[in-house]
Chains A and B, each alone.
Chain A
Amino acid sequence: MHWNSYADFVHMGGYGLYVWGSYGAALVLMLIEPLLVVQRRRRALAQAGDGETA
């Protein structure tokens, strides 16, 4: 490990904004997309159930 402290890790040798700006976007997108698809499948299953009663 070449990081001396947590602050040192966040600082990223002066490139913190760029490194975490990239990883932050990846994390947000790759959390939102799975949530959306899981929701979409649940909704589709629920609607297929509705169709039966109609």
Chain B
Amino acid sequence: MKRTTSLRWSTYAAPSRFYALAGKLVPWFWAATIVLSAIGLFIGFGIAPSDFQQGDAYRIIFIHVPAAWMSMVIYGVMALFAVLGWAFNTRLSSMYARALAPTGAMFTFLALWTGAFWGKPTWGTWWVWDARITTEFILLLLYVGYIALTEAIDDERRAAHAGALLALVGAVNLPVIRYSVVWWNTLHQGATISMDSAPKMAATMLIAMLIMTLAFWAYSFAVVFTRARAIVLEQEGDTEWVRALAARQTRA
């Protein structure tokens, strides 16, 4: 009895199972990314009106906000998996954490970049060290630090432990980013969308932004799953199932 439950619990925690399942899901995530992006961009550029204050410069929002959201969500998930892998020694969790980091860093960079390109026409400056921008920049440094640290340690378990510690300590930055526009008087505007009030933007603008957010989610799943599969192969290279898989691939 105990054996069956433990088997069930670990079914998708086994790297080989994950590898096969993710391989089936990835094409669907790519399809979703393309379809959602097309719909989101069509609404964002074709239907949503110009802003009465910012003209068409505001259209950067359709990628700026989703990128910024993803940068924080991915960090949170990465830290969670890193700590799970550390605490329970589940190797797949640590692999997920490392697969998430580069995509999180990419979205953080994109949030800063699009922010600069939005700041210039609306604030008159590419960059300002206000609380929101500075804490988002620190997030980028945390990602880079996590990637550098885990890549620098050859022993996978030690790399996972060190990375988890850094990711956990760095997670304190997440609420600071979230509330930076409340705690400090920033040039960056406050939240446009919140759970307890109506959004302060036109419905079509909001819909375009939310669809682009879903597109970025689908993109993240597609890329992170593919990278996690690569990491599984790299770390399980000497196991029977990977060798069998590689042999089949060479013959085909």
Hey, which bits of chain A sit against chain B, CB under 8 A? 1-2, 9, 12-15, 17-19, 21-23, 25-26, 29-30, 33-34, 37-38, 40-41, 43-49, 51-52
Contact = CB atoms under 8 A, between A and B. Distances in A.
A19 B246 contact: no
| B contacts with A: majority SS | helix
Contact of A38 (B57, B118, B219, B226): B226
Nearest to A19: B59
A12 B237 CA distance: 51
B230 interface: yes
| A contacts with B: majority SS | helix
Contacts, number: 103
In the A-B complex, the 4 residue pairs with the smallest Cβ-Cβ separation, listed nearest first, are A49-B246, A44-B233, A13-B56, A41-B230
Given A2-B50, A44-B233, A19 B60 contact: yes
A30 B46 CA distance: 22
A41 B233 contact: yes
Nearest to B212: A26
Given A19-B60, A48-B245, A51-B238, 9 more contacts: A14-B56, A18-B117, A19-B59, A22-B113, A25-B117, A41-B227, A44-B237, A45-B245, A49-B246
Contacts of A52: 243, 246-247
Contacts of A44: 230-231, 233-234, 237
29 contacts: A9-B45, A15-B121, A18-B57, A18-B121, A19-B56, A19-B117, A22-B63, A22-B64, A22-B117, A23-B63, A25-B110, A25-B114, A25-B117, A30-B219, A33-B223, A37-B230, A40-B230, A41-B227, A41-B229, A44-B234, A45-B246, A46-B246, A47-B237, A48-B245, A49-B246, A49-B247, A49-B249, A51-B243, A51-B246
